[in-house]
Amino acid sequence: MLHELLVAPFVDYEFMRRALIGAVALSISGCPLGVFLILRRMSLAGDALSHAILPGAAIGYLACGLSLPAMTFGGLVAGLAVAVASSAAARWTALREDASLAAFYLVSLALGVALVSLKGSNVDLLHVLFGSVLALDDATLIFLAAIASVTLTALALAYRALALDTFDPLFARRASPLGEWIPFAFLALVVLNLVAGFHALGTLMAVGIIMLPAASARLWTRDLTMTLPLAAAIGVASSYFGLVLSFHSGLAAGPVIILVAGAAYFASLIFGQTGGVVRLWRPKRHLEG
Amino acid sequence: MSAAGSIRLDNVTLGYERRPAVHHLTGVVEAGAALAICGPNGAGKSTLLKGLAGLLAPIGGRIVWDGFSPRDIAYLPQSAEIDHAFPIDVLDFVSMGAMRRIGLFGRIGGEERARIATAIASVGLEGFEDRQIGTLSGGQMQRALFARLLVEDSPIILLDEPFGAIDAKTIDDLVTIMAGWREERRTVIAILHELDLARRAFPQALLLAREPVFWGPTREALSDSRLAEANRMVEAFNRDAEDCRRDETPHAA
């Protein structure tokens, strides 16, 4: 019975296995980045960047149809351009990073949808907005895995630098000439993962798998070295149960994955050990000293 | 001419978006000097300190660091500028001070570990190594910041209101550490609201009210009449200021 419910879909159908692998790769690399986005108070920047990818991907689509390299390239260029522009603006002008992000993302979304509708059908539009996690081909899977590998390697190597820059950017800048470049490198990683997420979950859902598990993990532990793997674990679990649920219910896979991640978030809000509602209302007995 | 290790201010104007916070300041902080920067709120003290640390480029005049880079300066920010909610413990926080020597990617070796342990001990935070900084009291946080400065081991130390809102015992301990820096001939520049402390521990003072009111021996700088003058000058700040017509070129050396 349990086997049929939880395992059989993946044994019986290759597209389910592919979807699982793709979503797991996304979660493992994206969720730790989400933790840093939250700590940097850039939760909304992730949203804006994911929308900024859309016009670029749409131009790639206009030129070459639903082609992985063309849409990836277009998305990367557009995302990186916006990332560099916004963090340069924050770094060198009086504007704060979040100042123009709302405008950015609305304009980008409108532009992207307009560009796709220029040529494509509603099916293509749905693909762009909500992804196609159940139709990942070999090339896309390898692409997702490669981005996850690059991201995890970079995080492992630059963990201390990134944590330092997140906590005290002025200090990081003075401690090393490389300090100036940490925010840009970080945003580049975020854009990479958003482009990956774009293929699997679509532009509207990609940022969900990055932010929701990260927000949940923050509610369970204050230790950063625990938060990062916990976020990834919540992301992986959301992907798995989301796929299972979508398989049995017939609901669209991408949104269901995000819904499960959302459910995990609300559960964390209520039961989380650090900052959850229950803990705030009924704190443990205070310590002796 | 000034000796190596000094900071020279040449008709410096610092500010944000054309609005000057520090107006036409000229002077020299010699190597090994102890300078208190005093003045009312809004006098431009923090802005000046950021300029001295190389964190804010002057909009007029120039700042010359003689024989060193502003990166070599250790800088203690105001407590409010630190994200106390960030998940980092005291040990990691103090270890940040070693970053300039080991780089962003280098290993923290035995020598650095010893230095970090000594710093934590000398500010009296032994046993707090595993505590998250968010759980520290104001005084303990200030001790941790001083420990980070000790690990930085910099010849020039800038302090932005190091003694704001902390108790007498903590102030005493931290002043002792500061006295140690003076004996080691380090340059110490501190923004202070505690005027008695400034008179006691700092031979030189700069009284600032957007413009320098007086820069020299502390007792003269912090006389009642000059303090009153500084208050008046800040209050008279002009909302509809026009373009400044004063000479922008640095004075001839």
Cβ of A164 within 8 Å of Cβ of B73? The answer is no
Give me the pLDDT at residue B43, please. Answer: 87
Write the pLDDT tens digit of every residue in A28-51: 999 999 999 999 888 888 888 888
Distance (Å, whole) CA A1 – CA B182: 76
Share of chain A above pLDDT 70, in %: 93
Which of A37, A95, A176 to mutate: most B Cβ within 10 Å?
A176
Task: Compute the nearest-CA separation of B196 from chain A (Å).
Answer: 31
Predicted confidence (pLDDT) at residue A134 exceeds the cutoff of 90: no
Q: What is the chain A residue with the closest CA to B18?
A: A94
SS3 B247: coil
Write the pLDDT tens digit of every residue in A231-261: 999 999 999 999 999 999 999 889 999 999 9
How are strands ordered across the β-sheet holding B7-16?
B19-29, B7-16, B60-65
Cβ pair A254, A26 in contact under 8 A: no
Predicted confidence (pLDDT) at residue B238 exceeds the cutoff of 70: no
Give me the pLDDT at residue B186, please. Answer: 94
Strand-pairing partners, residue B27, are B9
Average pLDDT of chain B is: 87
Judging by DSSP bridges, how do beta strands B211-217 and B204-209 pair with one another? antiparallel
CB contact B75 to A (< 8 Å): yes
List % helix, strand, coil for chain A (3-state, nearest 5): 85, 0, 15
Q: What is the chain A residue with the closest CA to B57?
A: A92
Give me the pLDDT at residue A264, please. Answer: 96
Predicted confidence (pLDDT) at residue B3 exceeds the cutoff of 80: no
Give me the pLDDT at residue B253, please. Answer: 42
Compute CA A68 distance to the chain's CA centroid, rounded to the nearest angstrom.
Answer: 19
Give me the pLDDT at residue B247, please. Answer: 66
Per-residue confidence band for B122, with pLDDT thresholds at 50, 70 and 90: very high
Task: Compute the nearest-CA separation of B74 from chain A (Å).
Answer: 9
CB contact B86 to A (< 8 Å): yes
Compute CA B84 distance to the chain's CA centroid, rounded to the nearest angstrom.
Answer: 20
